[in-house]
Structure 1
Amino acid sequence: MTPTAIRPSLRRTARRLLAVAAVATLLASAAVVDRPAPAAAAGYTGPHPGTFTGLGFDTCAAPSNTAMKAWLQSPYRAVGIYIGGVNRGCAQANLTKAWVSTQQAAGWRFFPLYVGLQAPCSSYQRRIDPARAAVQGREAADDAATSARNLGLAARSTIILDLERYPAGNVACTGAVDTFVSAWTGRLHEHGFLAGLYTSVESAGLADQVAAYARPGYARPDLIDFARWDGVQTVSDEAIPASYWPRRRMKQYRGDHHETWGGVRINIDSNYLELEQPAYAVRTAQPQLRRYGSLSGTLRRLTPAR
C-alpha cells in the first residue's frame, strides 16, 4: 500500500490508538525532504503563525524546553500547540505562558489548535448539537480565545479548529457544521483573533468549506489547514480552487512518524505552511446563521470515540 492510499483522517489520539506501528511502517517512504536547518530566527512576538513559509510539526503534547531547543537543529520552525477543546486528547504539562514566551524568544512560530466538538454525523462522543450549533460555535470561540490570551498569544493570531473526518451526503450534518464554523469564525473575530479550520481531503469537511466559501452571510475561516498524506510539501491541491484561501493555507503532508533532531526523538505530524498575515482588520459583523433540525444518529490528537 502506498502512503497516498492511507486516509489522513484521525489526526490525534484516536489515530494513535489504532495501529500506530503499522501506520509508521506504511509511511516510511514519505520522508521529510532533506533540508538543512534554517538559520536561527530572531525572537518573535507578533501574531501566530503570522507571515511564514516553511515546515512545521505538531505532536500530541507540547515538548519540553530542552526538546524544543534541540529541535532548532531540525528543518522545522513552526510548531502546533493544542490549546484546548473538549476533545483534546493529551495533557499539556509543558504548555504554559512561560513556555510560549521561551519558544517565541527562540524564534518558533505557533499554529494554535483547538479540538472542539465534532460533526453530528461523525463517530465521536462529543459532537455538535444541530439545534445549538451556532451557540456552541460561539462558546468554543470564547473558550479558545481565553486559552490563547492565558498563554500570551498575540492578538490577531489564528486559532485552528480541528474538525475531523465525517461522511458526505448528509445535508443536516453539513448544515450544522457550517453553522458551527461560521459562528466560530465570527466570534473569534469579535475577540480579535483570526479563525482557521483543519480538515482532510477525504472528509466532507473540505468539500463543504469549499462549497460555502463565497456563500452570502457565511463567515468562512481565514485559514485552511488540510491533510493529504502524499509526502509533497505544497499547499496547491486539486480539491481547493486556486483563488480560495490564497497565501492562507497549510498542509499536513505526513502523519504519525518519529523524527530525531539534536538527539531528541518525537512522534509528529509534518506540515508545510504558506501563510501571509492578512492586512485587513478583523471583521466584527455577526454572521447570518441558520438552524437545523435534530439528527439521529477524524482527530488531530483527540480523545477516542466511545
Structure 2
Amino acid sequence: MSELWSTGNYGWVGVYAGGQDAYCQNFPSASWFNTIESQGWFVEPIWVGPQSQCSGYSAFSNNPSTAYSQGEQQAHLAYTALQDEGFDVSGGGVPIVYDLEKFAPNGTGCQVAAEQFIKGWDATLPRQLPGVYGSAGSSYITNLTGAPAPAFIWGAAWGTGSNPAYIPPIPNGDWNNNQRLKQYQGNVSIAVGGGSAVVDLDEADGPLYSNY
C-alpha cells in the first residue's frame, strides 16, 4: 500500500471489512486500517454478506419479509465489524457498502427479495452511511430508490468512462448529490514496487472514510 501510494496515482481503496460471502476471510485489523490511513489513504469498507438466491452464492431468503430481517441482521454484523476494525462509528457518518453481486431476475421474485433485503440493511444503519455496490444493470440498483434507500451507490459499469455522473442504466437524477462511486474498468494490471498487481479502477464522487 505504501508503494502504491507513492506513485501519486491513487487516493482511496475499497477494502473488504467482513461478511460470510467474501472470497477472502482474512479481514484487515484495526492496526492495518490505521497504518494505511496514516499514509494518506481514504478507504471504502465493503461488506459481503449473503446474496440473491438467483446469484449462485449462499443466499438470503426469497421471502420478502424474511429477506428484510436478514438485511437488518447483516447491518448489525457490519456495524460490529467496523467497531472492531477501528472505525469511529460513535458520531455516525461512516460509509459501509453492501456488495450485491449480479443475479438472474427470475421473474420478479428475486428482485423483490433483493430490494427488501437492502431496505433492511439501509434502515438499520441510519446514523452511518449505508451504500450498495453492484453491477449497474444486473444487480438491479435502479430498483433501490424507494425509502429507505441507500445513502449512496457504487455502480460497476465497465467501459463507460470514469465519470460517476454517468452510470448507465441508472438515471442521472438518482443519487446525484455526491452519492456515487463508479467502477469503470476491471482486471487492470498496474506496476507496483518493481512488480505488478491486478486491480479494478474506480472513481469517487461520494463518501469515503479516513480517521486522519
What's the TM-score once normalised by structure 1's chain length? 0.62
> How many Å apart are 1:145 and its aligned residue?
0.7
Correspondent of 2:32 among 75, 82, 99? 99
Does 1:240 find its partner at 2:170? yes
Structural mapping, 1:253-268, within 5 Å: 253-268=184-199
Q: What is the total number of aligned residue pairs between the two structures?
A: 200
> How many Å apart are 1:113 and its aligned residue?
0.6
Does 1:273 find its partner at 2:209? no
3-state SS of the aligned residue for 2:14? strand
Q: Deviations over 1:200-238 (max 9, x none)?
A: 1230522322xxx1x3xx311011101111062111234
Rg bigger for which structure? 1
Distance 1:123 1:138 in 2: 22
Q: Deviations over 1:275-305 (max 9, x none)?
A: 258xxxxxxxxxxxxxxxxxxxxxxxxxxxx
Could you tell me whether the CA contact under 8 Å between 2:12 and 2:41 is conserved in 1?
yes
The residue aligned with 2:150 is 221
The residue aligned with 1:43 is none
Distance 1:105 1:239 in 2: 37
3-state SS of the aligned residue for 1:268? strand
> How many Å apart are 1:169 and its aligned residue?
5.5
Could you tell me whether the CA contact under 8 Å between 2:54 and 2:106 is conserved in 1?
no
Structural mapping, 1:130-209, within 5 Å: 130-131=62-63, 132-155=66-89, 156-168=93-105, 170-189=107-126, 192-209=127-144
Larger proportion of strand: 2
Letter in 2 for 1:101: N
3-state SS of the aligned residue for 2:171? coil
Could you tell me whether the CA contact under 8 Å between 1:224 and 1:245 is conserved in 2?
yes
Judge which range, 143-152 or 253-262, deviates more. Answer: 253-262
Q: Deviations over 1:135-171 (max 9, x none)?
A: 2101100111111111111222111000011123522
Correspondent of 2:56 among 116, 119, 123? 123
* Divergent runs of 4+, >6 A: none
Identity of paired residues, percent?
28
3-state SS of the aligned residue for 2:11? strand
3-state SS of the aligned residue for 1:76? coil
- Structure 1 residue runs of 5 or longer lacking an equivalent are 1-67, 278-306
The residue aligned with 1:77 is 11
